[in-house]
């Protein structure tokens, strides 16, 4: 019997961003993954079919190119965040509400979710975000405004915030 949880039915494509190669993944519901190659918590995509012509993956690549050219501040794509826990999904939805060029702290997000003592849990959920840039986890900073970790690498977080003129 095949374990479908271990091998999701996703398709993938590559995207060469100005900050390095990325893997995009889509499910039947929408874009479900966008990781910098070698990023922390990136699943192994070797079992996913390579389909660079998939419409959601093509739309994501087009919108990412416009974002990196400073011509797009918001993404309009169908998303599939179903692999996260309900708490992770609530954090990821909150990340989507952080405006372009604005940062919020882990504590701000925890308070918004009605769980002011959950800053560390929020941090863990942010670190597991499967949709870098699209779900803008790079916009989350420490309580003092310090640039804390980023699964894609702190140098990329800095570059993304500079692109958005948040630094």
Active site amino acids? 137
Q: Which helix (H) or strand (E) holds 110?
A: helix 106-112
CA 132 → CA 38, 117, 127, 147, distances in Å? Answer: 13, 25, 10, 16
Q: Which helix (H) or strand (E) holds 24?
A: strand 20-26
- A 10 A CB-CB count for 146 gives 8
Report the distance separating Cα 4 and Cα 25, nearest Å.
16
**Length in residues, the chain:** 167
Considering only CA atoms, which of 87, 88, 91 is closest in space to residue 106?
Answer: 91
Q: Three-state SS string across 70-95, please?
A: CCCCCCCCCECCCCCCHHHHHHHHHH
């Amino acid at each position: 019997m095949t374990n479908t949880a271990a091998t999701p039915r996703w398709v993938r494509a590559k995207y060469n961003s100005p900050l390095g190669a990325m893997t995009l993944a889509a499910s039947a519901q929408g874009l479900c993954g966008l990781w910098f190659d070698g990023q922390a918590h990136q699943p192994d995509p070797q079992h996913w079919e390579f389909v660079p012509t998939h419409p959601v993956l093509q739309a994501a690549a087009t919108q990412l190119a416009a974002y990196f050219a400073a011509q797009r501040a918001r993404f309009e794509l169908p998303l599939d965040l179903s692999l996260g826990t309900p708490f992770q999904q609530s954090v990821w939805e909150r990340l989507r509400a952080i405006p372009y060029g604005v940062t919020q702290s882990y504590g701000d997000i925890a308070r918004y979710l009605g769980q002011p003592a959950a800053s560390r849990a929020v941090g863990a959920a942010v670190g597991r975000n499967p949709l870098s840039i699209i779900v803008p986890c790079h916009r989350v900073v420490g309580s003092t405004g310090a640039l804390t970790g980023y699964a894609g690498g702190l140098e990329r977080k800095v570059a993304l915030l500079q692109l958005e003129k948040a630094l």
